[in-house]
Amino acid sequence: MQPPPDLPNLIYLGDNRDLFARLPDDSVDLVLTDPPYKNYRSNRPTAHPILKRIQHGQFDVELFARESYRVLKSGCHLYCFCDHLTFPGIRTALVEAGFKYRNCLVWVKNNHGSGDLRGNWAPQHEFIIFVSKGKPQPLRGRRQSNVLGRRPGKGLLEPFPKVSNYRFNHGTTKPVELLQMIIQASSKPDEIVLDPYGGSGSTAVACILEGRRYILSEIDPEYHRIALERISPESFIKP
């Protein structure tokens, strides 16, 4: 089953419920997403007053899990960013929707967040839940560690450089290189990658660089505009 021809290579402005409703069953080759899984109100607005608050209220984890399972082709993979607090709930929702739990990848960052400055360890990683729809297709390329980063030398791990909060005026922009690594391992050229929580469009940029087709949705018009700017031909001339 193929999605309608206007959907691949689309960054849809609106709620992903509406986008999911337009996607046929078994029509997507990879789901890769970074939902608004935590309450960013605690630190970001004070530390970075010009950054907007990310809308976290709309993360309907059951809908996301159920609809992702429906639209993903059999054997294909889903990756979802989360942290140690949201991991159990997201994992449960995915498994209840029918996914097979496979692994929890760790993305080590080259900066750490703030939070409780004296009473707790500084957060310096995010988790990425990895599940499959039924028996998983093999991962492509050479076998990689589940701790993600650059590997410049034997045994060394170099974090992907952080994307400044001000680069795209979005507090949680992910490094494109990190997304490329996942896309390479879990899809083939020309296949369709779905990101229902598109943000500033990093998944679309990674798909273009990897020769994959993309379908994203973003509910916030300002982030949607930034995402469109990032995929414009001008941005690719001067990355």
Ligand X SMILES: C[S@@+](CC[C@H](N)C(=O)[O-])C[C@H]1O[C@@H](n2cnc3c(N)ncnc32)[C@H](O)[C@@H]1O
- Longest Cα–Cα distance of the chain, Å, equals 53
> Measured between alpha carbons, how far is 94 from 128 in angstroms, rounded to an integer?
13
Using rule CB under 6 A, residue 29 touches ligand X: no
Closest to ligand X by CB, 16 or 135: 16
> What is the 8-class DSSP label of residue 118?
T
Residues numbered 195-224 forming contacts with ligand X, rule: CB under 6 A: 197, 199-200, 202, 217-220, 223
Local structure of 115: helix, strand or coil: coil
CB of 143 to ligand X, least distance (A): 26
Q: Which residue is nearest to ligand X (CB)?
A: 199
Residue of 91, 133, 174, 213 interacting with ligand X (CB under 6 A): 174
* Cβ-Cβ contacts under 8 Å for 172 (sequence gap 6 or more): 34, 36, 40, 54, 199
Which long-range contacts does 134-143 make (Cβ < 8 Å, 24+ apart)? 134/74, 134/75, 134/100, 135/75, 135/100, 136/75, 136/77, 136/100, 136/102, 137/75, 137/76, 137/77, 137/186, 139/185, 139/186, 140/184, 140/185, 140/186, 140/187, 140/188, 141/184, 141/185
Using rule CB under 6 A, residue 170 touches ligand X: yes
Binding to ligand X by CB under 6 A, coded x per residue (else -) over 30-49, reads ----xxx-------------
Binding to ligand X by CB under 6 A, coded x per residue (else -) over 111-150, reads ----------------------------------------
Using rule CB under 6 A, residue 186 touches ligand X: no
CB of 155 to ligand X, least distance (A): 29
CB of 89 to ligand X, least distance (A): 16
Q: Given the rule CB under 6 A, which residues bind ligand X?
A: 15-16, 34-36, 54-55, 58, 170, 172-174, 197, 199-200, 202, 217-220, 223
